[in-house]
Structure 1
Protein backbone atom coordinates (compact mmCIF):
# COMPACT_ATOMS: atom_id res chain seq x y z
CA UNK A 1 0.00 0.00 0.00
CA UNK A 2 1.42 3.36 -0.96
CA UNK A 3 0.67 6.73 0.52
CA UNK A 4 1.21 9.88 -1.52
CA UNK A 5 2.30 12.47 1.02
CA UNK A 6 3.31 15.10 -1.53
CA UNK A 7 0.51 17.58 -2.27
CA UNK A 8 -0.68 17.72 -5.86
CA UNK A 9 0.51 20.74 -7.82
CA UNK A 10 -2.15 23.24 -8.89
CA UNK A 11 -3.46 22.97 -12.43
CA UNK A 12 -1.78 26.20 -13.51
CA UNK A 13 1.59 24.99 -12.28
CA UNK A 14 1.18 21.64 -14.02
CA UNK A 15 0.10 23.44 -17.21
CA UNK A 16 3.10 25.73 -16.99
CA UNK A 17 5.45 22.76 -16.69
CA UNK A 18 3.76 20.95 -19.57
CA UNK A 19 4.18 24.05 -21.76
CA UNK A 20 7.83 24.25 -20.74
CA UNK A 21 8.27 20.56 -21.58
CA UNK A 22 6.60 21.07 -24.97
CA UNK A 23 8.89 24.01 -25.74
CA UNK A 24 11.87 21.94 -24.69
CA UNK A 25 10.82 18.96 -26.82
CA UNK A 26 9.40 20.67 -29.93
CA UNK A 27 10.80 24.19 -29.90
CA UNK A 28 9.31 27.62 -29.25
CA UNK A 29 8.03 28.33 -32.77
CA UNK A 30 6.25 24.98 -33.04
CA UNK A 31 4.48 25.54 -29.70
CA UNK A 32 3.55 29.13 -30.61
CA UNK A 33 2.32 27.96 -34.01
CA UNK A 34 0.16 25.28 -32.38
CA UNK A 35 -1.24 27.84 -29.92
CA UNK A 36 -2.11 30.31 -32.70
CA UNK A 37 -3.63 27.50 -34.77
CA UNK A 38 -5.78 26.37 -31.81
CA UNK A 39 -6.87 29.95 -31.12
CA UNK A 40 -7.72 30.58 -34.78
CA UNK A 41 -9.80 27.39 -35.04
CA UNK A 42 -11.62 27.80 -31.71
CA UNK A 43 -15.38 27.25 -31.71
CA UNK A 44 -17.32 30.41 -32.50
CA UNK A 45 -20.78 31.38 -31.34
CA UNK A 46 -23.41 31.51 -34.07
CA UNK A 47 -24.49 34.99 -35.07
CA UNK A 48 -28.21 34.49 -34.45
CA UNK A 49 -28.63 33.15 -30.90
CA UNK A 50 -32.12 33.81 -29.53
CA UNK A 51 -32.39 36.02 -26.44
CA UNK A 52 -33.64 33.18 -24.21
CA UNK A 53 -30.62 31.03 -25.10
CA UNK A 54 -28.26 33.95 -24.52
CA UNK A 55 -29.72 34.32 -21.03
CA UNK A 56 -29.43 30.57 -20.38
CA UNK A 57 -25.77 30.58 -21.43
CA UNK A 58 -24.99 33.66 -19.35
CA UNK A 59 -24.11 35.77 -22.38
CA UNK A 60 -24.76 39.52 -22.45
CA UNK A 61 -27.66 40.78 -24.56
CA UNK A 62 -26.96 41.16 -28.24
CA UNK A 63 -25.24 44.45 -29.01
CA UNK A 64 -27.26 46.81 -31.15
CA UNK A 65 -25.10 48.91 -33.45
CA UNK A 66 -25.65 52.63 -32.99
CA UNK A 67 -25.10 55.48 -35.39
CA UNK A 68 -24.55 59.07 -34.43
CA UNK A 69 -27.74 60.09 -36.27
CA UNK A 70 -29.77 57.78 -34.00
CA UNK A 71 -28.93 59.86 -30.92
CA UNK A 72 -31.55 62.44 -30.08
CA UNK A 73 -30.51 65.84 -28.89
CA UNK A 74 -31.58 66.43 -25.33
CA UNK A 75 -31.39 69.97 -24.09
CA UNK A 76 -31.67 71.14 -20.52
CA UNK A 77 -34.59 73.47 -21.41
CA UNK A 78 -37.97 71.92 -20.59
CA UNK A 79 -40.75 71.87 -23.13
CA UNK A 80 -42.88 75.02 -22.56
CA UNK A 81 -46.16 73.27 -23.43
CA UNK A 82 -45.63 70.36 -21.04
CA UNK A 83 -47.00 71.04 -17.59
CA UNK A 84 -46.30 68.37 -14.99
CA UNK A 85 -49.36 67.31 -13.04
CA UNK A 86 -51.89 68.37 -15.68
Structure 2
Protein backbone atom coordinates (compact mmCIF):
# COMPACT_ATOMS: atom_id res chain seq x y z
CA UNK A 1 0.00 0.00 0.00
CA UNK A 2 1.26 3.49 -0.78
CA UNK A 3 0.29 6.75 0.86
CA UNK A 4 0.74 10.14 -0.72
CA UNK A 5 2.74 12.60 1.42
CA UNK A 6 3.86 16.18 0.94
CA UNK A 7 7.23 17.52 2.08
CA UNK A 8 8.86 20.90 2.17
CA UNK A 9 12.40 20.93 0.79
CA UNK A 10 14.97 23.62 0.27
CA UNK A 11 15.61 24.94 -3.23
CA UNK A 12 19.03 23.26 -3.14
CA UNK A 13 17.45 19.89 -2.31
CA UNK A 14 14.88 20.30 -5.10
CA UNK A 15 17.64 21.19 -7.57
CA UNK A 16 19.65 18.15 -6.47
CA UNK A 17 16.66 15.82 -6.90
CA UNK A 18 15.79 17.32 -10.28
CA UNK A 19 19.41 16.98 -11.42
CA UNK A 20 19.56 13.34 -10.31
CA UNK A 21 16.26 12.59 -12.05
CA UNK A 22 17.37 14.26 -15.27
CA UNK A 23 20.67 12.32 -15.12
CA UNK A 24 18.65 9.11 -15.26
CA UNK A 25 18.90 8.10 -11.60
CA UNK A 26 15.14 7.52 -11.48
CA UNK A 27 12.01 9.52 -10.98
CA UNK A 28 11.45 11.52 -7.81
CA UNK A 29 9.55 8.69 -6.11
CA UNK A 30 12.33 6.21 -6.88
CA UNK A 31 14.96 8.63 -5.57
CA UNK A 32 13.06 9.04 -2.29
CA UNK A 33 12.67 5.25 -1.96
CA UNK A 34 16.41 4.79 -2.56
CA UNK A 35 17.26 7.48 -0.01
CA UNK A 36 15.05 5.81 2.61
CA UNK A 37 16.64 2.44 1.83
CA UNK A 38 20.11 3.99 2.30
CA UNK A 39 19.08 5.56 5.62
CA UNK A 40 17.70 2.23 6.84
CA UNK A 41 20.88 0.46 5.78
CA UNK A 42 23.02 3.05 7.55
CA UNK A 43 20.93 2.78 10.71
CA UNK A 44 21.14 -1.03 10.64
CA UNK A 45 24.94 -0.84 10.23
CA UNK A 46 25.23 1.50 13.21
CA UNK A 47 22.97 -0.71 15.32
CA UNK A 48 25.02 -3.78 14.35
CA UNK A 49 28.30 -1.97 15.18
CA UNK A 50 26.97 -0.92 18.60
CA UNK A 51 25.67 -4.41 19.32
CA UNK A 52 28.71 -6.34 18.04
CA UNK A 53 31.60 -4.02 18.93
CA UNK A 54 30.71 -1.14 21.21
CA UNK A 55 28.68 -3.02 23.83
CA UNK A 56 31.11 -5.95 24.15
CA UNK A 57 34.02 -3.50 24.50
CA UNK A 58 32.12 -1.53 27.11
CA UNK A 59 31.31 -4.71 29.02
CA UNK A 60 35.00 -5.75 28.96
CA UNK A 61 36.02 -2.26 30.12
CA UNK A 62 33.42 -2.32 32.89
CA UNK A 63 34.73 -5.70 34.04
CA UNK A 64 38.27 -4.32 34.11
CA UNK A 65 39.52 -6.07 30.99
CA UNK A 66 39.94 -3.02 28.73
CA UNK A 67 42.29 -0.11 29.27
CA UNK A 68 40.83 3.36 28.95
CA UNK A 69 42.53 6.60 27.98
CA UNK A 70 41.67 10.21 28.84
CA UNK A 71 39.99 12.00 25.94
CA UNK A 72 42.59 14.77 25.81
CA UNK A 73 45.36 12.18 25.44
CA UNK A 74 43.49 10.47 22.60
CA UNK A 75 42.90 13.75 20.77
CA UNK A 76 46.54 14.77 21.23
CA UNK A 77 47.70 11.50 19.69
CA UNK A 78 45.28 11.88 16.80
CA UNK A 79 46.50 15.43 16.14
CA UNK A 80 50.12 14.24 16.26
CA UNK A 81 49.31 11.52 13.75
CA UNK A 82 47.56 13.98 11.42
CA UNK A 83 50.52 16.40 11.62
CA UNK A 84 52.95 13.56 10.89
CA UNK A 85 50.89 12.48 7.88
CA UNK A 86 50.77 16.04 6.59
CA UNK A 87 54.54 16.23 6.92
CA UNK A 88 54.87 12.94 5.02
CA UNK A 89 56.32 11.06 7.97
CA UNK A 90 53.74 8.23 8.12
CA UNK A 91 51.67 6.30 5.64
TM superposition score normalised by structure 2: 0.27
Pick the structure with greater CA Rg. Answer: 1
Give the number of the structure whose residues are more often helix, by fraction: 2
Length-normalised TM-score, structure 1: 0.29
